């Protein structure tokens, strides 16, 4: 099987996954106890308004009809409209996704830049103090609650030291003309150094907070994978040829050790693109995470459903992409 055929086959397996997701997403609204219309309206719910919302959500129809209508709309690219504001979900998604992309990519960059070297050093000087320290950092990174870390970062660097903003994408006095809606890119395109610095400063804390888990995962994977490679024969051969250790590790061992690291990094990117609800909420980062959080609180079901479906799709696609990248990086891999 060629890579192309494999890609098509893998692509087709996505379909049942997405149908499953659509069923779960559709089921949401019916699984949550209580009448969704009443939840949305609260103390002031009048019977007329409850009836209106029910009609609007299509809750007055048989379940299978509701599902078919729902799927029919999705296929046509219609994710519905927000109950609260009436804006099409897809439109809002497009507006908010760039903020999430910018944050996710920054976080993964931080994670890779710190995680990979940390893993390498830990593997090379196995069982050293540094190894223990890096394993401790990795463990802390995975287990520390992000909301706590986020608040502490904002408190220490924003409030106490006054070095970085406590949240947001930009201060009010700076304007960036939107092109890609990635502020770092847009400010560079406009050649506006001041705006670039402002956007970068706002990115630091949320990106660091968000990077902890992927960083820990990447560091652990790099260490484990490199340790395994370092015990192989060809490495001994390289060493016995008298190559300097740096060349052995970076040129010979790393090329193979990085393969599983790439997989976990890919998975982490998928996870981060899915929107970091906690990080975005704590730092008022206007991406899809904050959007979903607000929609859940307001019981704005079309947004919750649409966003979940989108996230699942992104996740599946990023996984697929990671799989396919294998072939490019490692010619030994055959697909059958």
Partner 1 sequence: MWTRRIPMLLLLGCALLVGGPAFAGQSTFIFGAQGEPVDLDPAIITDGISSRITRQIYEGLVKYKGATTEVGPALAEKWEVNKEGTVWTFHLRKGVKFHDGTPFDAAAVVWNFDRWKNTKHPQHENIKKAGKSFDYYGNQFNGFDDKSIITKVEAVNPQTVRITLKAPQGPFLSNLGMFVFDLASPKAVEKHGLAFTKNPVGTGPYKFVEWKVGQEVILEANKDYWDKAHAPKLQRVVIRNIKDSSQRLAALKAGEIHGMEGLNPDDVKVVKNDPKLQIILRPTNTTGYLAFNYKVKEFQDGRVRQAIAHAINKKGIVDALFGGTGMVATQFQPPSLWGYNKELKDYEYNPERAKQLLRDAGFSGGLKEITWDDGKKEPLPFWYMPVSRPYYPNPKEIAEAMAADLAKVGIQVKLQTTDWAVYLDKRKNGQLPLYMLGWTGDNGDPDNFVCYFFCKPGDSPEGFYANPKLSDVLLTAQQMTDQKKRAELYRKAEQMIHDDVARIFIANNQPPLAFQKNVKGYVANPTGSEHFNTVYFE
| Site residues for partner 1 per CB under 8 A | 32-36, 38-39, 42-46, 48-49, 52-53, 56, 81, 83-86, 92, 95-96, 99, 117, 151, 154-155, 158-159, 162-173, 197-198, 200-201, 204, 246, 250, 281-284, 286-287, 290-291, 293-294, 297
Task: Specify the residue, 115 or 287, whose C-beta has the smaller distance to partner 1.
Answer: 287
Considering the complex, what minimum distance in angstroms separates the CB of residue 24 from partner 1?
20
CB of 266 or CB of 289, closer to partner 1: 289
CA distance 65 to 57: 12
CB of 13 vs partner 1, minimal distance in Å: 35
The 3-class SS string of the chain reads CCHHHHHHHHHHHHHHHHHHHHHHHHHHHHHCCCCHHHHHHHHHCCHHHHHHHHHHHCCCCCHHHHHHHHHHHHHCCCCCECCCCCCEHHHHHHHHHHHHHHHHHHHHHHHHHHHHHHHHHHHHCCCCHHHHHHHHHHHHHHHCCHHHHHHHHHHHHHHHCCCCCCCCCCCCCCCCCCCCCCHHHHHHHCCCHHHHHHHHHHHHHHHHHHHHHHHHHHHHHHHHHHHHHHCCHHHHHHHHCCCCHHHHHHHHHHHHHHHHHHHHHHHHHHHHHCCCHHHHHHCCCCCHHHHHHHHHHCCCHHHHHHHHHHHHHHHHHHHHHHHHHHHHHCCCCCCC
| 202/271 with CB nearer partner 1 | 202
CB of 96 to partner 1, least distance (A): 6
Write down the least CB distance from residue 5 to partner 1, Å.
Answer: 40
Work out how close the CB of 230 gets to partner 1 at its nearest, in angstroms, rounded to a whole number.
19
Q: Looking at beta carbons only, is 51 or 65 nearer to partner 1?
A: 51
Nearer to partner 1, 251 or 334 (CB): 251
- Closest distance of CB 8 from partner 1, Å: 38
Compare residues 110 and 264 and give the one whose CB is closer to partner 1.
Answer: 110
Closest separation in Å from C-beta 166 to partner 1:
4
Of the two residues 6 and 293, which places its CB atom closer to partner 1 in the complex? Answer: 293
């Amino acid at each position: 099987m060629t890579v192309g055929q494999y890609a098509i086959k893998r692509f087709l397996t996505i379909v049942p996954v997405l149908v499953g997701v659509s069923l779960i997403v559709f089921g949401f609204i019916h699984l949550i106890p209580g009448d969704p219309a009443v939840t949305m309206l609260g103390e002031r719910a009048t019977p007329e308004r409850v009836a209106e919302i029910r009609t609007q959500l299509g809750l007055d129809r048989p379940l299978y009809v509701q599902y078919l209508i729902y799927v029919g709309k999705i296929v046509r690219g219609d994710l519905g409209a927000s109950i609260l504001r009436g804006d099409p979900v897809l439109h809002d998604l497009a507006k908010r996704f760039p903020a999430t992309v910018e944050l996710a990519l920054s976080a993964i960059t931080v994670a890779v830049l710190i995680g990979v070297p940390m893993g390498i050093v830990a593997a090379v000087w196995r069982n050293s103090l540094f190894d223990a320290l890096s394993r401790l950092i990795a463990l802390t990174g995975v287990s520390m609650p992000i909301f706590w870390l986020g608040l502490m970062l904002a408190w220490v660097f924003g409030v106490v030291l006054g070095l970085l903003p406590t949240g947001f994408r930009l201060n009010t006095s700076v304007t960036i003309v939107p092109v890609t809606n990635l502020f770092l890119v847009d400010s560079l395109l406009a050649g506006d150094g001041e705006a670039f610095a402002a956007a970068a400063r706002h990115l630091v804390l949320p990106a660091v907070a968000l990077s902890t888990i992927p960083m820990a995962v990447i560091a652990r994977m790099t260490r484990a994978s490199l340790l395994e490679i370092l015990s192989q024969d060809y490495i001994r051969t390289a060493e016995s040829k008298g190559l300097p250790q740096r060349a052995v590790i970076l040129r010979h061992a790393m090329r193979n050790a990085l393969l599983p690291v790439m997989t976990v990094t890919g998975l982490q990117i998928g996870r981060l693109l899915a929107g970091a609800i906690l990080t975005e909420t704590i730092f008022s980062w206007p991406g899809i995470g904050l959007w979903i959080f607000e929609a859940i609180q307001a019981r704005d079901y079309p947004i919750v459903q649409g966003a979940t479906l989108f996230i699942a799709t992104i996740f599946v696609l990023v996984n697929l992409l990671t799989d396919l990248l294998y072939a490019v990086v490692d010619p030994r891999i055959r697909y059958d």
